[in-house]
Chains A and B, each alone.
Chain A
Amino acid sequence: KNQVEQSPQSLIILEGKNCTLQCNYTVSPFSNLRWYKQDTGRGPVSLTIMTFSENTKSNGRYTATLDADTKQSSLHITASQLSDSASYICVVRGDSSYKLIFGSGTRLLVRP
């Protein structure tokens, strides 16, 4: 069964600190993996999208990694800001379907 699992479920960090969110997937065949940021009451906003051949991709203070062999991805946030408080969702697209498979998300709270 195609699944996407994220950890931790929630995370609290102090402003300025770094953190890493994890995503494991069992989707096969695999097309691409995306990380989205979703603020409360808003739609998801794309942070990164990686294909099979990409190992890392950065978007400002966000850096995503992908290991297609172990089917793991991580999202690293550097020098966190209060505005980083949101849900971060890992989403995988299989190769033969347009459908996206969503993880349950990690709720991040950045405290001053």
Chain B
Amino acid sequence: GAVVSQHPSWVICKSGTSVKIECRSLDFQATTMFWYRQFPKQSLMLMATSNEGSKATYEQGVEKDKFLINHASLTLSTLTVTSAHPEDSSFYICSARESLSGGLSYEQYFGPGTRLTVT
């Protein structure tokens, strides 16, 4: 089956620093990747949608200058949290939508998530 990996699985950083999270589709190509944030006991909230080779589309209320997204290849998207603050501490999950010849699959595959703690 399709596998999506994230790295790191957890990270602790100091307030004011930046941290990068990688999302990779291991055995398929993903034209579109999604970034979600999940706070404790809450469901996933879509932050942004990234398409390979173009600028990401951010959801309302998500600061694009704070959460930098790069989708440079069909298998890799990165999320950089710039000038992190304690309120950015959360569980970040990516998902990837498989690109099929003749059209797009409607299936999204989720990564295992990255736990970010900002001290």
A: number of interface residues (CB 8 Å): 20
Pick from B44, B112, B113: contact of A102, CB under 8 Å: B44
For residue A41, which residues in chain B have a CB less than 8 angstroms away from its CB?
91, 113, 115
**Looking at B6, B46, B108, which has the most chain A CB atoms within 10 Å of its CB?**
B108
Any A CB within 8 A of the CB of B32: yes
Residue in chain B with minimal CB distance to A51: B106
Closest CB-CB distance, B94 to chain A, in whole Å?
Answer: 8
Interface pair A49/B46, CB less than 8 Å apart:
no
Stretch among A19-27, A52-60, A61-69, A93-101 lining the B interface:
A93-101
For residue A98, which residues in chain B have a CB less than 8 angstroms away from its CB?
32, 49, 97, 104, 106
Interface pair B44/A31, CB less than 8 Å apart:
no
For residue B46, which residues in chain A have a CB less than 8 angstroms away from its CB?
99-100
* Interface residue range, chain B: 20 to 34
Any A CB within 8 A of the CB of B42: yes
Interface pair B106/A93, CB less than 8 Å apart:
yes
Interface pair B43/A102, CB less than 8 Å apart:
yes
For residue B115, which residues in chain A have a CB less than 8 angstroms away from its CB?
41
Interface pair A43/B106, CB less than 8 Å apart:
no
Interface pair A89/B113, CB less than 8 Å apart:
no
Pick from B43, B49, B97, B112: contact of A43, CB under 8 Å: B112
Closest 3 CB pairs of A and B: A43-B110, A102-B43, A43-B112
- Which residues in B have some Cβ–Cβ distance to A below 8 Å? 4, 6, 32, 41-46, 49, 91, 93, 95, 97, 104, 106-113, 115
